[in-house]
Structure 1
């Protein structure tokens, strides 16, 4: 093995190690910067909500901007799974049913309607046009 071949092998492994170290540090930095706790405060007296990341107010708006929706997802076998989400234009999507999806759409629909009634929010079915929408707030 010549000196040049030895030099190339050492440089190649150094670049590979640097590559892995860079992406490891990038991953750690992304995790640390996204740790900020998210809070959604719904004020039923004022009919508005506030969305915070850590202690910083990100958005404040009327209740007609946020809603509860029954979301459907089709698998490769043609089976539909459902979940409830809370969403709006200036907040992050919040999955209300957790990670687990359900095949029981009727049960989740009743739960979503009950939640939207208690929180005074709009409720939308998984279809765009549906008689099961419950609209309590109209845009100003």
Structure 2
């Protein structure tokens, strides 16, 4: 273990291509905090200094599989009986087709690389390059949604130009905790963080487009009075 690195705080972990499959009922800010304790670069793994890699399968793989299995059971049951002399297998057959399409489209393995050495990110599906670009195009973002009663819920999303949005936390009402975790992830991965507001002093911009000196969506602020001087794993207690 290099000097200065706590032995109880590993910076890398073995890649799990199914780690983003957490169900919405359990993928809370506490769940994310536990993941960050085990791997401070979650959901990525550090391949080498300045290079982070994420390999994953879309969660529509298990959703399509579940839909396909359920519809197969319904078709099997419907083939053994009729309801008011009408065949009842039409809708389950349609569900089988949708489930099979979801399975096939989700089977290819995704790979996303953040390479700060080159200042580029690279996204590929089954080894085929889909897109790549400068680091200012990838970010961690806090998204806002509300229900019919006016309650606000927040999602923590990893996204970027032509990237599939990866939800790190589903719906939570705890804005401060979600913001802290989002800023922590963005700092560890050395990428931009954006608040749910389009114009906000809570944005943290580390990478700008070439030639850009200022963006109208960024309200400048002295961050010394806001950021903590250092982040430890004990701070991840939510």
TM-score class normalised by the smaller sequence: 0.7 to 0.9
Separation in 1, partners of 2:91, 2:149: 40
In terms of Rg, which structure is larger? 1
Residue of structure 2 aligned with 1:116, choices 186, 211, 218:
186
1:44–1:119 CA contact under 8 A, matched in 2:
no
State the partner residue of 2:164.
92
Residue segments in structure 2 that go unaligned for 5+ positions in a row: 1-85, 211-238
Cα drift, residue 31 of structure 1: 1.9
Separation in 2, partners of 1:72, 1:17: 40
Are 1:35 and 2:100 counterparts? no
Cα shift readout 1:80-99 (whole Å, capped 9, x = no counterpart): 011110111211001112x4
Separation in 2, partners of 1:57, 1:119: 22
Residue of structure 2 aligned with 1:48, choices 114, 117, 120:
120
SS of the equivalent of 1:29 reads helix
Structure with a larger share of its residues in helix:
1
Cα drift, residue 120 of structure 1: 1.1
Cα drift, residue 30 of structure 1: 3.8
State the partner residue of 2:150.
78
SS of the equivalent of 1:96 reads strand
Root mean square deviation of aligned Cα: 2.1
Residue segments in structure 1 that go unaligned for 5+ positions in a row: 1-12
The verdict on how the C-alpha distance between 1:128 and 1:32 changes in structure 2, with shifts beyond 3 A counting, is same
Separation in 1, partners of 2:142, 2:98: 36
Cα drift, residue 49 of structure 1: 0.8
SS of the equivalent of 1:72 reads strand
Q: Structure 2 length normalisation: TM-score?
A: 0.48
How many residues matched?
126
Separation in 2, partners of 1:41, 1:23: 35
The verdict on how the C-alpha distance between 1:21 and 1:48 changes in structure 2, with shifts beyond 3 A counting, is same
